[in-house]
């Protein structure tokens, strides 16, 4: 049994540690990185580099030349694969899309297959490498590199440099403290120095590729030492958020220092220009009373933007489980707030209108009705002309009372429904029918379930519809429900084409004056839910209403 040289043990320990670190870091990468593409790239890089280092351990510890050669070829394969994983990771981390482009993927597969073919057949043609044995500092396989190897090595270093460029560009553009990250990325490329020394033959190191050691240092640094910064950098990247939105956006850290802004924010607050790492409240004092932003709120900036209103909201930015800052978003809601104020005024006017109808008109009707009743009690019973006039006046007052009730309903319930619940159609229809019909009328419900509606409004809608059916000489009413609509049909008098056209118009009592505002009320209550109501002109067995939701 051959003795193991101390240097041999040292090399094995270093590459073994690199492999162990890479394999251990895979689990942390899976748990810490939220972006799937970045996670896939880094995990692939760590796994292939771990295999690469493991194959070096096998090559160093083995005493059989054939076994050493096998481990060398396997190591070359893992190393070449790690280049693709490195580029995939760098592209994804930097927010690029190169790793998803089919052209680059197909080209990478072709080049990978070509190089592997040349590598595996090199013992035959010797163009990639040839081998010999050395006993210094311990017995090991020495690789004599051919021309194709140096071409491939140059290509590999060039591609690796592209990855480094994408990372450093991302760090520079993030406006985040990335000094440590840049240093750690630099460690990943440091083993190139040992490669140069080894292959030049001017140093004590043996001819191996030392990149797995650099990747191991990179993994420890990124995922353990600078974990929060590594994950956070992409949160502060312009390509992710700022450049794509019209809203004004200010990125701040946990101390409310400005980390980034977009053009819209700088247009609103010119002082934000060249204000990186300054306290937001110092740059724009109006923010002093608005921070922290616990919930979205409407904010006014009287000095910067008089007369304008903005919805201020905050989106937490996290690195894994750690909050690293917030994205403050300002959305101009001036027009919306003005419209909301107009609606509030309109609703106040409707409240006043309802009160005026309820008290003033009903009081007048009551006075007139009382005087008609007094007159009826005093007139000569034989005077048919006076009796007819009193009946006409009394009927007019009754009709006026119905109109007032309809107007009150419109004022009270005609606004857009906001309290929406699941309403049982069968229950509310039967309740409304009992309030409007008599024992001489029948109601049938078919396939009814629930609708999302304001219970009070939908019940009033049914009451107005059923009252119309009764006044239109119907004796049977059916309520059916489909996925898209409520269908109410009766066996009353069919409406003419002209009546259908003007059925829902105010001032056009259909089919006669007795119906009053019933159908306009139905339409208004339907529209309060965002529904539409129509009369089916093709139905001639009565009247069919279709309420589409």
Distance CA 264, CA 285 (A): 18
Predicted confidence (pLDDT) per residue in 275-307, tens digit: 888 899 898 888 888 888 888 888 888 777 777
Q: Are strands 450-453 and 476-481 parallel, antiparallel or unpaired?
A: unpaired
Rounded to the nearest 10 degrees, the angle between the axes of helix 102-120 and helix 65-93 is: 170
Domain 6-236 in CATH 1.10.287? The answer is no
Predicted confidence (pLDDT) per residue in 236-278, tens digit: 444 445 555 678 888 888 888 888 888 788 888 888 888 888 8
Distances (CA, A) of 80 to 113, 131, 156, 491, 536: 10, 20, 8, 83, 73
Name the CATH superfamily for 241-332: PAS domain (3.30.450.20)
Alpha carbons within 13 angstroms on the beta-carbon side of residue 347 total 10
Structure confidence at residue 236 (pLDDT): 45
Distance CA 324, CA 463 (A): 58
Q: Is the pTM of this model over 0.75?
A: no
Domain 421-548 in CATH 3.30.565.10? The answer is yes
**pLDDT per 10-residue tile (average), the chain, 549 residues:** 66 84 83 77 87 85 80 84 87 80 88 85 74 63 70 78 75 56 59 62 62 71 54 48 69 85 84 85 86 82 80 76 78 76 66 63 72 70 69 71 66 64 93 89 92 88 91 92 93 90 76 72 85 92 92
Distance CA 170, CA 162 (A): 12
Classify the C-alpha dihedral 533-537-538-539 as positive or negative: positive
8 Å CB contact between 547 and 533? yes
Structure confidence at residue 59 (pLDDT): 80
Beta bridge partner(s), residue 480: 446, 487
Structure confidence at residue 1 (pLDDT): 41
8 Å CB contact between 453 and 529? yes
Structure confidence at residue 462 (pLDDT): 94
Q: In the chain, where are the structural domains located? A: 6-236, 241-332, 337-413, 421-548
């Amino acid at each position: 049994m051959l003795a193991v040289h101390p240097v041999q043990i040292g090399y094995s320990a270093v590459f073994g540690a690199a492999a162990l670190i890479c394999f251990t870091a895979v689990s942390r990468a899976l748990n810490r990185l939220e972006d799937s593409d970045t996670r896939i790239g880094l995990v692939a890089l760590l796994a292939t580099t771990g295999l690469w280092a493991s194959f070096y351990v096998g090559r160093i510890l083995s005493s059989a030349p054939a076994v050493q050669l096998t481990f060398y070829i396997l190591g070359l394969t893992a190393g070449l694969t790690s280049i693709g994983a490195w580029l995939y990771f760098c592209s994804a981390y930097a927010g690029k899309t190169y790793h998803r482009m089919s052209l680059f993927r197909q080209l990478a597969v072709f080049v990978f297959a070509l190089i592997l073919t040349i590598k595996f057949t090199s013992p035959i043609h010797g163009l990639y490498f040839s081998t010999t044995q050395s006993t210094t500092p311990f017995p090991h396989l020495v690789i004599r590199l051919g021309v194709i190897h140096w071409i491939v090595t140059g290509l590999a270093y060039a591609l690796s440099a592209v990855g480094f460029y994408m990372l450093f560009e991302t760090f520079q553009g993030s406006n985040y403290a990335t000094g440590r990250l840049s240093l750690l990325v630099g460690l990943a490329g440091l083993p190139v120095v040992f490669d140069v020394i080894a292959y030049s033959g001017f140093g004590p190191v043996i001819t191996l590729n030392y990149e797995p050691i650099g990747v191991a240092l990179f993994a420890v640094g990124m995922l353990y030492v600078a974990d929060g910064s590594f994950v956070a950098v992409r949160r502060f990247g312009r390509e992710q958020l700022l450049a794509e939105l019209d809203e004004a956006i200010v990125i701040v850290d946990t101390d409310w220092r400005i980390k980034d802004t977009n053009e819209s924010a700088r247009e609103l607050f010119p002082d934000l220009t060249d204000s990186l790492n300054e306290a937001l409240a110092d740059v724009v004092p109006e923010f002093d009373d608005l921070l922290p932003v616990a919930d979205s709120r409407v904010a006014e900036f009287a000095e910067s933007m008089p007369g304008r209103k903005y919805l201020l909201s905050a989106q937490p930015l996290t690195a894994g489980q750690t909050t690293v800052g917030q994205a403050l978003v300002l959305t101009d809601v001036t027009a919306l707030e003005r419209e909301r104020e107009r609606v509030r005024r309109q609703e106040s006017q409707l409240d006043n209108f309802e009160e005026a109808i309820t008290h003033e008109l009903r009081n007048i009707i009551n006075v007139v009705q009382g005087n008609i009743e007094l007159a009826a009690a005093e007139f000569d019973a034989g005077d048919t002309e006076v009796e007819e006039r009193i009946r006409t006046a009394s009927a007019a007052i009754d009709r006026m009372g119905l109109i007032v009730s309809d107007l009150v309903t419109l004022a009270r319930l005609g606004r857009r429904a906001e309290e929406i619940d699941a309403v049982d159609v069968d229950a509310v229809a039967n309740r409304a029918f009992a309030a409007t019909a008599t024992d001489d009328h029948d109601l049938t419900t078919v396939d009814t379930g629930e609708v999302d509606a304001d219970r009070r409004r939908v019940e009033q809608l049914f009451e107005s519809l059923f009252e119309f059916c009764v006044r239109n000489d119907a004796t049977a009413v059916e309520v059916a429900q489909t996925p898209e609509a409520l269908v109410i049909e009766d066996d009353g008098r069919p409406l003419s084409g002209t009546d259908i056209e003007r059925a829902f118009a105010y001032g056009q009592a259909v089919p006669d004056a007795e119906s009053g505002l019933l159908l306009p009320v139905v339409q208004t209550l339907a529209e309060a839910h965002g529904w539409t109501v129509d009369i089916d002109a093709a139905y001639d067995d009565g009247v069919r209403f279709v309420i589409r939701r």
